[in-house]
Structure 1
Amino acid sequence: MSDDSLDIRDGGVIAVDTERLRMAAAVLVSLSTGCGELGRAFETTTRELTAHEATAWPAAALGADFARLLDELSAEASALAGKLRDAADVYDIVELEAARRAAAGGDRRVADSLDRRIDETRERSSEAAARADLLLTTWPLLRHGELQRQIGGAVVPLGLLGGAAVAGSGLALSALGALGLGRATPDRGGNASPPLVEVTRSAAPVAGAAPTTLAALAARIPREGDQIRVERYGGDGSERRFAVYVAGTRSPLGFGGREPFDMSSNVQLYAGRSSASYEPVVSALRAAGARPGDAVLAVGYSQGGAITSRLTVDGPFRVVGNVTFGSPVQADPGDATLQVTVRHTDDLVPALQSGGHPDRAGAAGSIVVERVADPPPGMADVALGAHSIDAYGDTAALTDASGDPRVDDVQERIAAFGGDDPAEVTTYRVRRPD
């Protein structure tokens, strides 16, 4: 039985809204001030009442106790407000430092602006700066804690060898994070010729309903046979819109055989290159009628998520949404693309994202959804049971039913993209030539 708890957040190293912390601190300061003023008023009233013999003793006892209580409440509210402001400073520094690291090698003006903001925030509180540095140092070591716990539980029978496996996995994932791997960036391969791949339409286009939920997107990802599904919306002269659904690895031990969705393509995509599985997705969209600049909703599972992430940063189309399930890489597509990242914390494949982008990635409203798919440690963890497309379908359904307003917003965007008209559905099968 899987754990149904979900972690839905905006992405990045932390999931804290510092503005809300400061707003809460301001409310507490106001309450502290009010309590202090009320306490002083009681003190004044008590002194006046004690001046009269008939009310002196009762008034003194009651007024003094109430004034003391108000003073204590005022002090506690003030102290809590200070802690909230300190926490906001810590998280501001963490987010700014994460954004600065993400901006490394990019626009110099952006980096200089971030440097100035970091210096200003650190100068406000040296204690907050020290706590932020501790968080930034420990985050790479702790972010894969659930995965390592389950690996450890699965390999207990191996004794010392099992312990070495846990330690080795932790070091390997930390090394990947230090190298900055697991983040889709524009192709580093230069002008290399695209690989030769045959793209064949499996059947004539058929009509189908447009999706409205994350579970509906996950259900459309090809499970076997075809690797690519394309849906076209907006016929009869209206704006053309396309959704593409891309399968995961079909040949996990293959390197360069007939199946292009193999480990060779995984390695190329992970290294920031194009692949024999990426090019057919572009070709399938073109065959379905997509032209450069047309709006595309990209949905991918596992290797398919690496492909759609590359499509967002390198493709010829206007990718307005990138939804990935268990992808080994994550893209930062910029402010024009809604990014929905669904990953299991006990799944080794998305752990290769090196924790994902340290800063928030994607347009406003982008979310990261995490869940422990299979809490009890066991051999299923070694067999990547938490990576199955069915497990991710379950997580998508739980997310849809969560009632989280951010998920409601994503569902509205999905429904608006597809519209009310039936989709024209075409599936494609791809192969390397003999």
Structure 2
Amino acid sequence: MEIDHGGAICVDPESLREVAARLAALATDIDGARSSIMRAHRIIVDAPGAGEQVDTVALWASGERAEELRSECDSAVIGIRLMADVYEYVELQAEADALALAHDAGADALRRRMERLADGDARIPDMATLLVQGWKDERFRGLDSQFDLGGLLAPLFLGASAVGATGLGVIPAGSRLTGTADPVSVTPVRTSSPSGAPAGAADALRRMPSAAGAQIAVEKYTMPGGEARYVTYLSGTQNAWPQSLLGGKEPWDMKSNRELYTGRRSSSYQATLDALAAAGAKPGDEVDVVAHSQSGMIAAHLAMESDYDVKVQITAGSPVEPALGDDQTIVQFRHTDDLVSSLAGGGSPGGTGSADSVTVTREGDPRDGIQDAGLETHQLRTYIETAEMADASGDPRIEALGEFWADLDEAVEVERTEYRATRD
């Protein structure tokens, strides 16, 4: 399992620079300690009889070791700052490319920043190129080793990776869904009062709607000050049969998949907005999202274009990656051998979202067997296993997500409603 900032970026560049600054300060402290040790050595050696009371050889050795530690810190600072510049170069390149597609003059400013970075160290462009190439080479690891079923599955897996490699699964900044969704009705089918917020990412994924036919669950958290915060849980595709491309009663179908992936408003997206409104969410309210599969696309557009304030989203097996702002955090769970997730092509090489945003990646099922025909690596239960591994990893970004749930746990009341949506 790999936990990183997303794309080719392991750690947010500014976080790396903060580490470098702390190491530089530590090097200064160590150098001060070395000077004190050497000064003490000189005093002891010069003082008659003092050398008999102190092991001056060991004292000198400790001074030399302090010098070695300072040198190691200095080298680490240089290396960390270089990698921060390389990561920033990759981020700037990805952002500039996206802006250039929209003929935005801002791309030129980003490229000038890239030039300044390269002027500081000529190795940076080549290192960035190698970094991105390595990420591209690993994006679909395991997808080509699926059970072949007599050659029937290979075109499906290869086709998904080919689509993902085009970059269609990255939603550019400023994108909005077009068109009008099919009419849809939303009905509450179950209400409950959870004792508190989820205990972690895996627990959050376990809170997907469980009532018969429900695709949406909305939890309303009434905070001590009276304000309301919301978390919505959105199921994945419920009807994946090819004929559902034509539509039917079930909004979470292949027609909605096609519409959302091509930038059109789907009935599943409209149903989510209707359910949130029915639960009491108003424009400007904080609405965070936990989503699986198709609903990763719904979460992306809720964060990018809805009237709600989406600060956090957790997605599992999403076929897209949104271009989020620095004040929005996304936690993405991806399996390299999941053909649905592969439609995102690994996302942007520069990653997305805040410094706390994180992508958790692993090969969901390294076994070659008939279970591949059932898309085992895309199933929610498999992603819950990955989330459990991440929760136990000790990664500080995953632990930061725990603070988000802890804040929600301060709520004085939690109301949960599950909704079933149908096309009219």
TM superposition score normalised by structure 1: 0.78
Kindly indicate whether the alpha-carbon contact (under 8 Å) linking 2:135 and 2:349 is maintained by their aligned counterparts in 1.
no
Q: Which residue of 2 aligns with 1:63?
A: none
- Counterparts of 1:67-82 in structure 2 under 5 Å? none
2:312 to 294, 315, 321: 321
Deviation at 1:115, TM superposition (A): 0.9
Q: 6, 17, 20: which is aligned to 1:19? A: 17
Identify the residue that residue 226 of structure 1 maps to in structure 2: 214
Distance 1:374 1:109, change over 3 A: same
- The verdict on how the C-alpha distance between 1:127 and 1:236 changes in structure 2, with shifts beyond 3 A counting, is closer
Q: Distance in 2 between matches of 1:396 and 1:337?
A: 20
Amino acid of the structure 2 residue aligned with 1:366: S
**Structure 2 gaps, min length 5:** 36-41, 43-64
Change (3 A) 1:109 1:345: same
Larger Rg belongs to: 1
Tell me the amino acid that sits aligned with residue 371 of structure 2. A
Residue 130 (structure 1) aligned with residue 126 (structure 2): yes
Cα distance in 2 for partners of 1:329, 1:361 equals: 12
Counterpart selection for 1:243 from 207, 220, 231: 231
Asked if residue 10 in structure 1 is aligned to residue 19 in structure 2, the reply is no
Of 70-79 and 345-354, the range deviating more from structure 2: 70-79
Instruction: Work out whether 1:263 is the aligned partner of 2:254.
Output: yes
Alignment of 1:212-361 (within 5 A): 212-213=198-199, 214-223=201-210, 224-234=212-222, 238-253=226-241, 254-255=244-245, 256-361=247-352
Cα displacement (A) at 1:171: 7.0
Worse overlay, 282-291 or 355-364: 355-364
Q: 1:359 to 1:124 in 2, by over 3 A?
A: same
1:165 aligns with 2:163: no
C-alpha distance in 1, partners of 2:109/2:2?
32
RMSD over equivalenced CA pairs, Å: 4.1
- Looking at structure 2, the residues matched to 362 and 411 of structure 1 have their Cα atoms a distance apart, in angstroms, of 18
Which position in structure 2 is the counterpart of 1:64? none
What is the identity, as a one-letter code, of the residue corresponding to 1:355? G
The one-letter amino acid of 2:193's match is A
How do 1:387-406 residues align onto structure 2 when only pairs under 5 Å count?
387-406=378-397
How far is 1:341 from its partner? 1.0
Contact 1:29 1:81 in 2 (8 A): no
Q: Distance in 1 between matches of 2:369 and 2:27?
A: 51
User: 1:211 maps to which residue?
Assistant: 197
Percent identity of equivalent pairs: 35
> TM-score, structure 2 length as denominator?
0.79
Match of 2:59 in 1: none
Q: Measure the CA separation in 2 of the matches of 1:242 and 1:99.
A: 31
Please list, as runs of the form range in 1=range in 2, the aligned pairs for 1:89-108 lying within 5 A after superposition: 89-105=85-101, 108=104
2:188 match: 201
For the Cα contact (< 8 Å) 1:21–1:88, is it kept in 2?
A: no
Going from structure 1 to structure 2, the CA distance change for 1:72 and 1:353 (only over 3 Å counts) comes to same
Q: Comparing 406-415 with 277-286, which one deviates more in the overlay?
A: 406-415
Unaligned runs of 5+ in 1: 1-5, 38-44, 46-68
Distance in 1 of aligned mates of 2:339 and 2:187: 32
| Paired amino acid for 1:10 | H
Greater shift in the superposed pair: 132-141 or 384-393: 132-141
Structure 2 distance, partners of 1:29, 1:427, is 56
The amino acid of 2:92's aligned partner reads: L
Deviation at 1:142, TM superposition (A): 3.1
Q: CA deviation at 1:274?
A: 1.4
SS at match of 2:218: strand
CA distance in 2, matches of 1:288, 1:78: 55
| 2:171 aligned with 1:183 | yes
Distance across 2 between alignment mates of 1:407 and 1:77: 27
